[in-house]
Amino acid sequence: MSRHRNERKAAMPERRRFFEVSGRYGFTTAILALGGGYLWSDAELAYAANDEAAREKAAKHAMIFATEYKNDDYKTYPIPQTQFKANLESLSGNAVYVKLFPSGQLGIGPALAQKVQAGTVQGGSVSLSNFSPFAPIVDVINIPFWCGENQRFANLVTSALWNGQITPKVTVKGYKPMFYFTVDPRTIATRRGMNRIIKTPDDMRGVKMRVPASRLLQQFYRLTGANPTVVAWGETPSALKQGVADALDPALGALYTFGFIDIVDSITLVDSVPDAQMFAANNGWFQALPKDLQMKFEEASEKTQGESFAQIPIARKNSMDAFGKAGVKFYKPSAAEHKRWVDAAGEQRAEWNDIKKELAGSLDTFEKLKMAANTKGKFTVDDYQG
């Protein structure tokens, strides 16, 4: 039995206990107990269950908030769903109750984004790549090598320019942007058996690069000499194992969280594009809140955004440690190598001009967005230095 099977076997008692607690006290209580470290304490569970029920009953407003991630994923993937619940309930004086539905219970990707837009779910977390069909303007971040680093991304999405130029175009689609966060930049991770570490665009020639249905990411990898191959996310592990795809590009934490530890052989930290998400609420639901609670909602969102940014280096280290133990190799391009990536596929190339005009409205507006990304904002966010 492999080490990873042993680890999974060791985790079975906790999983059985989780389902036992979920059946007895409810799923939300089980989630909170798992995150709070009292899954095995009957006394604390009973108190938490009663407290949770009391909060829900006493609240004046309820918010169903859904993601495709488990609460425990926060250790390796900085998605702060339980943190947002705690922040909003506390800051609103329990006037708003947040009922969490993690692990894809209410859908994932575009399906979840559509439910938030329709108001059948009051809020959720959706990657910007999956969100772009509903509000195409956000896809501007997928133009490579201008806001891929965490600090630049944070500067951009908290800037007055972003709030003035981008937010209204998202709101008109029925969404209330709560906050944007990033897991880390996208990587280039090769499958086992390929025996190639990607160092420069020259190494991408002929590589079957798994991509989502994103025309921007497809163009990016074509510019590097790769063959972009659209594969549905759920089919990606088997595509890599069978050689239908050679590589994929999620952030390091996403690769670990979604179980690619036994599939990838090397991970290149190329800092091309942010692997970003948005917490969004249904705008109609938000506008129906009293003004004082809207202000508390905004405060809770900003507080949670800061907590997510602070978690990035912790989640990255946890993921890297696990990959390292599994024998996965890491490569950070040198400054000269990074320049070759930028020269090959960066935003300065003329091939991106039509997309800049389409998404940002004009080349001038894109340049202003780029300036915002390079202007230090309210958050200081860690970038991996290698």
- For the segment 212-236, the average pLDDT, to the nearest whole number, is 92
| Inside any domain, residue 232 | yes
Do both 23 and 104 map to the same domain? yes
Q: Compute the distance between CA of residue 185 and CA of residue 271 in angstroms, rounded to an integer.
A: 5
HSE toward the beta carbon, residue 20, CA cutoff 13 A: 11
**Structure confidence at residue 153 (pLDDT):** 98
Q: Which residues contact 237 (CB under 8 A, 6 or more apart)?
A: 259, 260, 263
Is the pLDDT score of 71 beyond 90? no
Do both 159 and 269 map to the same domain? no
| Inside any domain, residue 152 | yes
Which DSSP category does 173 fall into? T
Lowest mean pLDDT among 39-43, 105-109, 261-265: 39-43
| Inside any domain, residue 343 | yes
CATH of the domain at 218: 3.40.190.170
- For the segment 56-68, the average pLDDT, to the nearest whole number, is 93
| Inside any domain, residue 213 | yes
Do both 245 and 118 map to the same domain? no
Do both 153 and 223 map to the same domain? no
Do both 142 and 26 map to the same domain? yes
Which DSSP category does 68 fall into? S
Tokens of 244: 């239908």
Q: What is the mean pLDDT of the chain?
A: 92
**pLDDT tens-place string over residues 75-124:** 999 999 999 999 999 999 989 999 999 999 999 888 899 999 999 999 99
| Inside any domain, residue 378 | no
Q: If pLDDT is split at 50, 70 and 90, which confidence band does 257 have?
A: very high
Is the pLDDT score of 373 beyond 50? yes
Q: Which residue has the higher pLDDT, 4 or 247?
A: 247
Do both 159 and 285 map to the same domain? yes
**Structure confidence at residue 7 (pLDDT):** 44
Domain boundary among 258, 287, 310: 310
Pairing between strand 247-248 and 188-191? antiparallel
**pLDDT tens-place string over residues 15-38:** 888 888 888 888 888 888 887 777
Measured in residues, the chain has a length of 386
Do both 241 and 119 map to the same domain? no
Q: Compute the distance between CA of residue 278 and CA of residue 124 in angstroms, rounded to an integer.
A: 8
- For the segment 58-77, the average pLDDT, to the nearest whole number, is 93
**pLDDT tens-place string over residues 267-276:** 999 999 999 9
| Inside any domain, residue 386 | no
Whether the Cβ atoms of residue 316 and residue 383 lie closer than 8 Å to each other: no
Do both 63 and 121 map to the same domain? yes
Do both 84 and 207 map to the same domain? no
Tokens of 89: 């309930």
Q: What pTM did the predictor assign?
A: 0.87
Is the pLDDT score of 64 beyond 60? yes
Is the pLDDT score of 2 beyond 50? no
Q: Compute the distance between CA of residue 240 and CA of residue 164 in angstroms, rounded to an integer.
A: 41
Do both 95 and 171 map to the same domain? yes
| Inside any domain, residue 382 | no
Percent of the chain, pLDDT > 90?
A: 75
**Structure confidence at residue 5 (pLDDT):** 45
Domain boundaries, position 267: 188-273+320-373
Q: Residue 3 CB: number of other CB atoms within 10 A?
A: 9
Is the pLDDT score of 43 beyond 70? no
Do both 329 and 350 map to the same domain? yes
188 has which bridge partners? 268
Domain boundary among 310, 329, 362: 310
Q: If pLDDT is split at 50, 70 and 90, which confidence band does 39 have?
A: confident
Do both 299 and 341 map to the same domain? no
Q: Compute the distance between CA of residue 25 and CA of residue 30 in angstroms, rounded to an integer.
A: 7
**Structure confidence at residue 44 (pLDDT):** 67
| Inside any domain, residue 358 | yes
**pLDDT tens-place string over residues 142-183:** 999 999 999 999 999 999 999 998 899 899 999 999 999 999
For the chain, the domain total comes to: 2
At what angle are helices 363-373 and 150-157 packed, to 10 degrees?
A: 120
